[in-house]
Amino acid sequence: MKKNITIKDVAKETGVHVSTVSRALSPNARASLSSEVVERIKNKAAQMGYRPNLVASGLRTNRTMTVGIVIPDITNSLFPPIVRGVESVLEEAGYASILVNTDGDGKREERLLDLLLERGVDGIIDAAVTSQDKKVTSIYERVPIITANRMVFGSGIPAVINDDESGIKKIFNLLVSKGHKNIGYIGGPERLSTGEIRNNAFKEATAINGLELNVKNTVFADKYTEEEGLNCADSILSNCPNVTAILCANDRLAIGAIEAVNSKNLKCPDNISITGFNDTPMIDRIPPGLTTVRILQFDVGRIAAELLVKKMNDPSIPVPEKTIMPVTIVNRGSVSIPNTGN
């Protein structure tokens, strides 16, 4: 392993002091130097193959130029686009990102957040928070944080989220416009802001439309997984055989619901219409084509990162506490007019 070339080596080679080299190589401090030396030093440094040591610089400046990205699980296709969105702006701004997966485990999340702190990250993008997250709130006084896709209620932590409420209401309206009156609902986990907001939106939507809501046709998933979706749909279908549609708080739940429908020898959408939320990648290739709410995954990450960069540059700068990204309905094959026949 070769030895690294330091600022000191460059200084010796060019016959100036290390501080001069430092200044010559720093775009800000460069101004106080004669352009002649600056050129000479920059050339020599390049020629010697000098690469700054970000660790040393980080120690001195207390800025590591790294941020932590906290997500539940990169294996969940909802998150990679968010991560890319985050990195698209972070990379431009010179930041590297440390990615960690919480697996939705609170203890893990706490550990990982502490780890990020030890590593001196300049900021954190957290897409794995729970709606009442204590840990992240306590950390918020030590480092700038932006939550993405989810939020912590009443924490003051700036959040970039999707318009969950209007998404649910729009797709609910789509169902009623098709003639559905008996709509089942598979809700999201109440401990997540997405779950709570979507679930409330569903309740409101039923009320607004004068439909009735009973405990049998609205069940709440404990996790956003296909398996939960399958179980919840099973429960709805057996307790309320007269539902003509099931609105799901998330695509994965919807996929599970479709499975449940299929396994009962029913067909979606012929017998039961099903809708999702997120329009997660590849979902369009799974039959019958999920009608769902499209969110701007990449942009959620992008905007969150932009806000974070602002905050990191100047912690006192005010950023909106809630940025709500627009959603759109994408119509595919999983919704049709209700089949009340037989």
Residues that bind DNA (CB under 7 A): 4, 6-8, 15-20, 22-23, 25-26, 28-29, 32-34, 36-37, 50, 52-53, 56-57, 59-62
d(CA 82, CA 301): 4
Least CB distance from residue 13 to DNA, whole Å?
12
From its own copies, DNA, none, interface partner of 16 (C-beta below 5 to 8 A by class): DNA
Q: How far apart are CA 70 and CA 122, in angstroms?
A: 14
Tokens of 293: 């709410």
Interface with its own copies includes 87 (CB under 8 A)? yes
Of these, 54, 213, 319, 330, which contacts its own copies (CB under 8 A)?
Answer: 54
Does residue 109 bind its own copies (CB under 8 A)? no
Q: Which long-range contacts (CB under 8 A, 24 or more apart) does 112-121 make?
A: 112/68, 112/70, 113/68, 113/70, 113/139, 116/68, 116/70, 117/142, 117/143, 119/64, 119/66, 119/68, 120/58, 120/62, 120/64, 120/66, 121/64, 121/66, 121/67, 121/68
CB of 2 to DNA, least distance (A): 12
**Six-digit token pair at 47?**
């020629």
- Does position 2 interact with its own copies (CB under 8 A)? The reply is yes
Q: x/- string (CB under 8 A) for its own copies, residues 57-86?
A: -xx----x-x------xxx-x--xx-xx--
Figure out which of the listed residues 17, 51, 134, 322 binds its own copies, where binding follows CB under 8 A: 51
144 secondary structure, DSSP code: -
Task: Say how far residue 333 (Cα) sits from the centre of its chain.
Answer: 27
Q: Is 215 among the residues that bind its own copies (CB under 8 A)?
A: no
CB of 40 to DNA, least distance (A): 9
Partner whose binding site includes residue 7, from DNA, its own copies, none (CB under 5 to 8 Å by kind): DNA
- Taking alpha carbons only, the member of 270, 214, 275 closest to residue 240 is 214
Q: Does 157 engage in binding with its own copies (CB under 8 A)?
A: no
Count interface residues toward its own copies (CB under 8 A): 45
Task: Provide the minimum distance between the beta carbon of 5 and its own copies in the complex, in angstroms, as a whole number.
Answer: 11
Is the distance from CB of 172 to CB of 156 less than 8 angstroms?
A: no
Alpha helices, H only, 119-225: 134-139, 164-177, 193-208
Q: How far is the CB of 335 from its own copies (least distance, A)?
A: 19
Residue 8 near which of its own copies, DNA, none (CB within 5-8 Å, type-dependent) = DNA
Q: For the chain, where are the alpha helices, taking DSSP H only?
A: 7-14, 18-25, 35-48, 54-61, 79-92, 106-118, 134-139, 164-177, 193-208, 226-239, 251-263, 297-313
| Residue (121 or 129) nearer to its own copies, CB | 121
Is 141 a binder of its own copies (CB under 8 A)? yes
- We find the least distance from the C-beta atom of residue 54 to DNA, in angstroms, to be 8
Interface residues toward its own copies, by CB under 8 A: 1-2, 4, 51-56, 58-59, 64, 66, 73-75, 77, 80-81, 83-84, 87, 96-101, 114-120, 141-143, 255, 281-282, 285-287, 315
